[in-house]
Structure 1
Amino acid sequence: MNSRYLASCAIGAVLALAPAVDAHAEEAPDDIVVTATRTAAPLYQVGQSVSVVTREEIENTQATTATDVLSRLPGLQVTASGGFGQPSSVFVRGADNAQSLVLIDGVRINDPGDVGGGFDFGALTVAQFDRIEVVRGSSSVLWGSRAIGGVINLITQRPTEEWHARAQAEYGWRDRKQASASASGLLGPVGLTVGGNWMKGDGYSAYNERRGATEKDGFESKSANARAELELLDGLTIDAGTYWTKANYDYDNTGADALNVGMKRDLTGYGNVRYAGLDDRLHARVGYGVVDTRRISDDAAWGPYETNGKNERFEGQVDFTPVELVTVLVGAETEKQDFTDNYGSKDDMRIDSVFGNLTVRPFDGLTLNGGLRYDDNSSFGDRTTFAANGAWAPLGLTGPVIRASYAEGFKAPSLYQLYTNAGYRDLEAETSKGWDAGVEQPFADGKGALTVTWFDRKTRNLIDYDLVNWNYYNIGKARAKGLELGMQVHDWQGLDVALSYTYLDATNALTGAQLPRRTKNNMLVSIDKRWDVNGVGGLRLGGELRVGGGRWDDAANSLRVEGNTVVNLRGSYAVTRNVEVYARLDNVFDEHYEVVRLYGTPGRSAYAGVRVKM
């Protein structure tokens, strides 16, 4: 579909709903976010473009994987080379998957053993996460290397004073089974959260079954998490947590069935000491985080290739508000990355960093932020980055919020690129400069918001692979610019509505070619309606339309993948206040399409399950 048609669909959806809502909100929600500023801040004071997904939204849309959730958001595109467990990338505003930083509870989980140092989303389930925050735009000043496209923070449930528990079981297409459970509460003075998830299925062929593939690529995934908090003294607390996941899966060769098997195991751990004092005007934190990743790709013909990546980080930060108008944030970090494989590659990299950010609120409704960061990398030298942003709510919480930001980003070469690179190790860091500007308008009595944002980012020294000389090298420039349109309505007269449209022009600035696997147009429209029955929630019915434009599968723009239109339906019924049954039908019209050339996508598929909460 062309860009004019998709743009008219998106704008038409907004106009069609506009008469049904009150444009004069009485009270806007005061959402608090932490990822954009590294401190708790009201969303209306954040100058960057941020999306927040709650546990309620995850359950209402019946999402099972992180990519299910992220593909619904403006500015994000997901590509997968097959089903669960297969390589999956998330492009934030057209940035490469390895150019965005991924966190679990604030701990970096990008894999040092990955080719680009990115995170593979293919085996990440979402049952254990209570909240997901996505910051679009370069965030290297606060978060360091890799945060060129943005930051994705997956947050597990915090302990609660009273014990709460939830459990879920689901069954569906091709014998896919899933079960999850979690509990949270106080055990003496210690707040605890524990949870786990299991999923197993026959799957479908990674190589497209519509092209003649017959061998299914099954999978099994297990994960567990734990989190604890303890208040030692008034204002002084400690917390620690862990997240473990292991996935086994089958995979194919490019363009053919194959009896290949893979395994990916991630272990994340962290601990923090926190202090809050001076009437909550001073906050300090000292923390440690580690992620250990092991991957095995066992090719049926060539044998196994194993990589091991480890990232350890010590960090500290202090934010102080001497007067209501000013907040100062300063911090320091030291990070060590290790990489080994079973072919003899073994090395490490260290990054030492300091950063600072100044927040000024000169008058009610206006918030300005500016920051600097200095990084010293043991392998490629030092780097200084700058960022500034602002948010202005001229009419208070009931009116529009105007946002604008400028930010510089960088990404150091990965250990894989540096130390598996035959004959050429003098790689430079990828760097970027970008800006965006947008407006958010609340409506529907404060239960809805419409956002429009324009963004533009230029990136230099992209790292690519030379198939002739068999090494990595820096080449060229890229530019990504476009428009994001988003709308959310939550529980307004029983209605939930979501609209997400992205126009993206991501090109090689030297050749003019489109960057591979990025669509120019991407849209989602989702509507759910709830009817109360005996005050327990009752019946909920909904559906969504997903439209993805065509894309090029290669850098030379010679291999075309056509666009797709997919319709999904879902429904749920609250049997009691604590028990809910649900079902969904994905790809209702059995659309045949590819996102990555030669690789399959699921056909029409049905699932049903039950949720229990206590």
Structure 2
Amino acid sequence: MTSRGVEKALKNGLFCKKTQTNALNLLLMSTALTCSTAAVAQENNLLDEVVVTASASEVTYKNAPASISVITAEDLENQGAKDVRSLLESVEGLTFNRAGNQSKVQIRGLNENYTLFLIDGKRVTSAPNAFRGNDYDSGWVPLEAVERIEIVRGPMSSLYGSDAIGGVVNIITKKETEEWHGSLTTEYTLQEDRKSGDYGRTGFNVSGPLLKDKLFMRTYGSWDFRRQDSGSLNPDSPSGGANAGFAKSDNKYIDTTVTWDVNEENSLDFNAGYSKRTHDKTTLDRVSGGITHHGSYEFGETELRAFGDRIENSYGHGNAAGEDMPNTAYNFTGDGKVNFDADLLVPNFLTVGATYQHQSLEDKFVLTGEGGSDSSIWQAAAFIEDRLEITDSFELTLGGRLDKHEKFGWNASPRVYGVYHFTDALTFKGGWSSSFKAPTLLQLSPNWKQVSCGGDCFLEGAEDLNPEVGSSFEVGFKYDQAKWSAGLTGFHNTIKDMIQFPPARTADVAVAQTYSNYVGLTSDGKPIFKFENIEEARTMGIEANLTVRPIDELTVSANYTYLDAKNTSANDAPLAFQPEHSANIKLDYAFNEKLSFALSANYVGEQYTSVPANGDMTYARKVDGYVTADFTGRYDVNENFTLRAGVLNIADNQILKTDWDEFNIDGRRYFISGTTRF
């Protein structure tokens, strides 16, 4: 929320008095984990900040009924991040599946299929366009547009429904301003190893009034790129095939929002955007649009939204025939909610809402069954959340959601969470929640037939799938003082009826007939397999963080994650790309009001990159752990121009891919960035 938004909220009165008291704190947010400069860390108390993702209504970080981390625009400005995923790498509980040199966000041992991505609270998904997965949904917003990122670690199906079984990443963009302001940023990163591709970005953000006190506009745009790694960077795989490094990427964005303050009680947001993202051979063109109504009345607050997008994939799901096989997906969501307070036995802060989602895919190359080349699915839901102020020190959140899915019917997701403040500094949190993940559009489409096994087998959808169901428990504490803070959280997740992704398959016809998901043969004798609910998983671990501010100018922050992620249906085999240990440490030093420095280090422990579906560890593969460290600096030349520079991976701990399931880590590189404000 901008200063204009805060003033309007305070003038109209927010439904929750606690939220109103803290509304001004929305201007700046920082976490103990990802704090910015020491000056910012000292001037702002995180516990009084307001977050919007952990609850159905705005709530202070201190009372948020979830484990939540926040990355701010200030954090972005103080490090050499090239995209949103780069910002997420230092958050406890988050790991990355880097197979094929993609970078897929994982939360608490569950892969990106179980992470819900939101932009300003609105769901985004490109899953139907690229069956084998992609890392696009974490990057539809360029860095120039990011105000902050809120990460909820743990399931939130009671609020958001399907896909939030692992957690939620909400990318919140900058809002309009009362006066015309703007910024232009240009950044370039040079690789010391000239076989590795350089990368850079240029972006702008402009905001201001079109009609004083009534009509406001904000526009942002960006272009970022990475040059392709040389084909000789990585050694050949044991089989003799070439191991590709990072592919060429080219991403362009433009987005505009117009806000109309109709009167003191009502406002409307109109949004339209276009993105074109190219990674290697795949280009996704996304056109998005939406309208949102905000109401602030004596009885409470309302929000009504209708939004959607069209995503075109010019490459498609694959091209065994040697030609592009394009497809187009359409996503639409309509939702609404009302927030109000009620004094019953205790003060209650209630939210009641409903949502409707529709998703469709046009693909004449893989949708070849009797249903034709189109497939669609819808689901609707109603939800309720009640935050009860049992005492001044104890809040209890009760939530529930009832989803109706076109294919598999009803699913309920209850949730209970408690926040207890032993003292002003010491807070205890804990809760239990149920969650679910609906099968994807393609997994449920009986007319879907996807080439696999290098063209020697096929996959198809199955109408008899069940939703994947999860159960999660967590407990932890947070201690915060002016000079130091610490936190410790333990969690335990289980998922049943997991849909193996991708499903078991083989080109060997004789072996194929022993698989439980074997369907039959094509007319030319190639085996066909379907999706099935066969797997179960359990993840558990500990997240710890510590921040120390020994002097006003210096902030030292660190975190550690212990993760035990197992496939319990395969003799407790470890899940791939889930390091048991990971840690981060960062030192921020403000030399003066203009000059600041940051030194950070990241440790990722050894991890398996491939584990057979049957859990036979004889053929499992893993890679060693590694450490990278970065040094960055920022200098405010004047109030209108900021210069940033730094050295990334200063120890040049470069990792080269040696086989298909491994990954690259860039070596030493140098970046410089300039931002002009007006």
TM bracket (short chain):
0.7 to 0.9
Task: Go from structure 1 to structure 2 and tell me whether the alpha carbon gap of 1:205 and 1:36 turns closer, same or farther (over 3 Å shift).
Answer: farther
Task: Go from structure 1 to structure 2 and tell me whether the alpha carbon gap of 1:116 and 1:304 turns closer, same or farther (over 3 Å shift).
Answer: closer
Query: Are the aligned partners of 1:109 and 1:119 in contact in 2 as well (CA < 8 Å)?
Result: no
Equivalents in 2 of 1:243, 1:522: separation in Å? Answer: 37
Equivalents in 2 of 1:473, 1:154: separation in Å? Answer: 33
In the alignment, does 2:535 pair up with 1:479?
Answer: no
Q: Which one-letter code corresponds to 1:460 in the other structure?
A: K
Equivalents in 2 of 1:435, 1:609: separation in Å? Answer: 43
**Could you say which structure has the higher strand fraction?**
1
Equivalents in 2 of 1:270, 1:449: separation in Å? Answer: 41
Query: Are the aligned partners of 2:610 and 2:661 in contact in 1 as well (CA < 8 Å)?
Result: no
Give the drift of 1:220: 1.5
Equivalents in 2 of 1:56, 1:490: separation in Å? Answer: 18
In the alignment, does 2:290 pair up with 1:270?
Answer: yes
List runs of 5+ in structure 1 lacking aligned partners: 1-13, 15-19, 251-260
Secondary structure of 1:417's partner? coil
Query: Are the aligned partners of 2:288 and 2:309 in contact in 1 as well (CA < 8 Å)?
Result: yes
Task: Go from structure 1 to structure 2 and tell me whether the alpha carbon gap of 1:166 and 1:96 turns closer, same or farther (over 3 Å shift).
Answer: same
In the alignment, does 2:531 pair up with 1:516?
Answer: no
In the alignment, does 2:389 pair up with 1:327?
Answer: no
Q: Which one-letter code corresponds to 2:131 in the other structure?
A: V
Give the drift of 1:513: 0.4
Secondary structure of 1:127's partner? helix
Match of 2:261 in 1: 231
Give the drift of 1:585: 1.4
Q: Which one-letter code corresponds to 2:664 in the other structure?
A: G
TM-score normalized by the length of structure 1: 0.87
Secondary structure of 2:163's partner? coil
Match of 1:3 in 2: none
Task: Go from structure 1 to structure 2 and tell me whether the alpha carbon gap of 1:97 and 1:371 turns closer, same or farther (over 3 Å shift).
Answer: same
In the alignment, does 2:426 pair up with 1:400?
Answer: yes
Give the drift of 1:476: 2.3
The sequence identity of aligned pairs, in percent, is 23
Per mean C-alpha deviation after superposition, the further-off stretch among 145-154 and 205-214 is: 205-214
In the alignment, does 2:277 pair up with 1:247?
Answer: yes
Match of 1:297 in 2: 315
In the alignment, does 2:136 pair up with 1:120?
Answer: yes
Match of 1:546 in 2: 602
Equivalents in 1 of 2:323, 2:106: separation in Å? Answer: 31
Per mean C-alpha deviation after superposition, the further-off stretch among 240-249 and 133-142 is: 240-249
1:378 to 406, 417, 423: 406
Query: Are the aligned partners of 2:188 and 2:200 in contact in 1 as well (CA < 8 Å)?
Result: yes
Give the drift of 1:181: 0.9
In the alignment, does 2:632 pair up with 1:602?
Answer: no
Q: Which one-letter code corresponds to 2:82 in the other structure?
A: T
Equivalents in 1 of 2:532, 2:133: separation in Å? Answer: 15
Task: Go from structure 1 to structure 2 and tell me whether the alpha carbon gap of 1:372 and 1:215 turns closer, same or farther (over 3 Å shift).
Answer: closer
Give the drift of 1:383: 0.5
Match of 2:201 in 1: 178
Equivalents in 2 of 1:319, 1:574: separation in Å? Answer: 42
Secondary structure of 1:141's partner? helix
Equivalents in 2 of 1:427, 1:418: separation in Å? Answer: 7
Give the drift of 1:121: 4.8
Query: Are the aligned partners of 2:498 and 2:535 in contact in 1 as well (CA < 8 Å)?
Result: yes
Deviations 1:531-589 (A, max 9, x none): 11xxxx32222221111011111232411122111121112222112212111211222
Equivalents in 2 of 1:243, 1:423: separation in Å? Answer: 32
Task: Go from structure 1 to structure 2 and tell me whether the alpha carbon gap of 1:28 and 1:348 turns closer, same or farther (over 3 Å shift).
Answer: closer
Per mean C-alpha deviation after superposition, the further-off stretch among 206-215 and 54-63 is: 206-215
Match of 1:360 in 2: 388
Secondary structure of 1:151's partner? strand
Give the drift of 1:343: 0.8
Match of 2:184 in 1: 167
Give the drift of 1:81: 4.1
Equivalents in 2 of 1:514, 1:338: separation in Å? Answer: 35
1:209 to 234, 258, 270: 234
Deviations 1:210-251 (A, max 9, x none): 44658873222111222222221221111122343212232x
Match of 1:149 in 2: 166
Q: Which one-letter code corresponds to 1:381 in the other structure?
A: G
Query: Are the aligned partners of 1:206 and 1:600 in contact in 2 as well (CA < 8 Å)?
Result: no
Query: Are the aligned partners of 1:25 and 1:442 in contact in 2 as well (CA < 8 Å)?
Result: no
Match of 2:154 in 1: 137
TM-score normalized by the length of structure 2: 0.79
Task: Go from structure 1 to structure 2 and tell me whether the alpha carbon gap of 1:232 and 1:198 turns closer, same or farther (over 3 Å shift).
Answer: same
Give the drift of 1:26: 11
Task: Go from structure 1 to structure 2 and tell me whether the alpha carbon gap of 1:297 and 1:518 turns closer, same or farther (over 3 Å shift).
Answer: farther
Query: Are the aligned partners of 2:47 and 2:60 in contact in 1 as well (CA < 8 Å)?
Result: no
Task: Go from structure 1 to structure 2 and tell me whether the alpha carbon gap of 1:49 and 1:492 turns closer, same or farther (over 3 Å shift).
Answer: farther
Query: Are the aligned partners of 2:55 and 2:65 in contact in 1 as well (CA < 8 Å)?
Result: no
Secondary structure of 1:209's partner? coil
Query: Are the aligned partners of 1:98 and 1:116 in contact in 2 as well (CA < 8 Å)?
Result: no
2:338 to 313, 318, 322: 318
In the alignment, does 2:74 pair up with 1:56?
Answer: yes
Query: Are the aligned partners of 1:167 and 1:179 in contact in 2 as well (CA < 8 Å)?
Result: yes
Equivalents in 2 of 1:106, 1:122: separation in Å? Answer: 13
Deviations 1:266-325 (A, max 9, x none): 3332211121121xx501111112132222337787322333222101111111102381
Match of 1:529 in 2: 589
Give the drift of 1:112: 4.3
Q: Which one-letter code corresponds to 1:514 in the other structure?
A: P
Give the drift of 1:358: 1.3
Secondary structure of 1:142's partner? helix
Equivalents in 2 of 1:319, 1:340: separation in Å? Answer: 38
List runs of 5+ in structure 2 lacking aligned partners: 1-31, 33-37, 191-196, 237-241, 368-373, 449-458, 506-511, 513-517, 519-528
Give the drift of 1:157: 0.6
Equivalents in 1 of 2:487, 2:289: separation in Å? Answer: 36
Equivalents in 1 of 2:245, 2:488: separation in Å? Answer: 45
Equivalents in 1 of 2:43, 2:73: separation in Å? Answer: 25
Query: Are the aligned partners of 1:176 and 1:203 in contact in 2 as well (CA < 8 Å)?
Result: no
Match of 1:563 in 2: 625
Task: Go from structure 1 to structure 2 and tell me whether the alpha carbon gap of 1:127 and 1:463 turns closer, same or farther (over 3 Å shift).
Answer: same
Query: Are the aligned partners of 2:443 and 2:461 in contact in 1 as well (CA < 8 Å)?
Result: no
Task: Go from structure 1 to structure 2 and tell me whether the alpha carbon gap of 1:33 and 1:249 turns closer, same or farther (over 3 Å shift).
Answer: same
Give the drift of 1:118: 7.7
Match of 1:418 in 2: 444
Per mean C-alpha deviation after superposition, the further-off stretch among 484-493 and 356-365 is: 484-493
